[in-house]
Chain A
Amino acid sequence: GIQVEQSPPDLILQEGANSTLRCNFSDSVNNLQWFHQNPWGQLINLFYIPSGTKQNGRLSATTVATERYSLLYISSSQTTDSGVYFCAVERRGNSGGYQKVTFGTGTKLQVIP
């Protein structure tokens, strides 16, 4: 099956710093999403980004599907950004016969005051 690797696995930032999280995948995909799992365990969708660049406030994401990677940028980090960030890739059958989702193992981010 498809392999999804995220780096770095752990990251500690001073509040106000910027960071880049990376997601590499081993095969072509139909879609890619970024999620934030907060310290209470809730999974929040950040970006639905099969290709191109999107921005939402201090967060932005870029997916280069032809090179099989995606980047999540966090600028001016805040303590509320702490948690685990996951990327997930989706593969669909040509005739819609399947729709499988594979997650990376995540980047654990801690933002300290």
Chain B
Amino acid sequence: EAQVTQNPRYLITVTGKKLTVTCSQNMNHEYMSWYRQDPGLGLRQIYYSMNVEVTDKGDVPEGYKVSRKEKRNFPLILESPSPNQTSLYFCASSSRDTYNSPLHFGNGTRLTVT
């Protein structure tokens, strides 16, 4: 089954404790991206990757890191989480077909930083 898998689904952590949220897709998609969703703000893009070893900042990259060492994986790293990073996070992937490349989303990771 074609899917984007995020782990964990729920995570509670404390300020300053490094964490990684994993994202994996099995559709051989070139493009992967991370979003955070906050009430009243919709989804905002954190980072995206056009292909292996190619990443770039989205609209809200501060406090986050990413890496794309393999095509299928795109982990999101919070090196020193803070309470303002409490949010619902989504990973997504798509092909880079010019004419038809819908985004496929994972089921989300709800992060709470205390």
Contact = CB atoms under 8 A, between A and B. Distances in A.
B42 A103 contact: yes
Interface residues of B, number: 26
B104 interface: yes
A1 B57 CA distance: 13
A83 interface: no
Contacts of A42: 105, 107-108
B51 to A, nearest CB: 10
Given A42-B107, A103-B42, A106-B42, A48 B102 contact: yes
B50 interface: yes
A99 B42 contact: no
Nearest to A42: B107
A101 B33 contact: yes
A18 interface: no
Contact of A48 (B40, B101, B107): B101
Contacts of B56: 98
A77 interface: no
A81 B43 CA distance: 20
B100 A48 contact: yes
A43 B105 contact: yes
A7 B54 CA distance: 35
Contacts of A102: 45, 59
A53 interface: no
Interface string A49-79: 0000000000000000000000000000000
Contact of A43 (B41, B59, B90, B100): B90
A33 B102 contact: yes
A19 interface: no
A19 to B, nearest CB: 19
Nearest to B108: A41
Nearest to B107: A42
B101 A105 contact: no
Enumerate the 3 nearest inter-chain pairs by beta-carbon distance, A residue then B residue, closest first. A43-B105, A105-B42, A48-B102
Interface of B: 31, 33, 35, 40-45, 48, 50, 56, 58-59, 88, 90, 92, 96, 100-105, 107-108
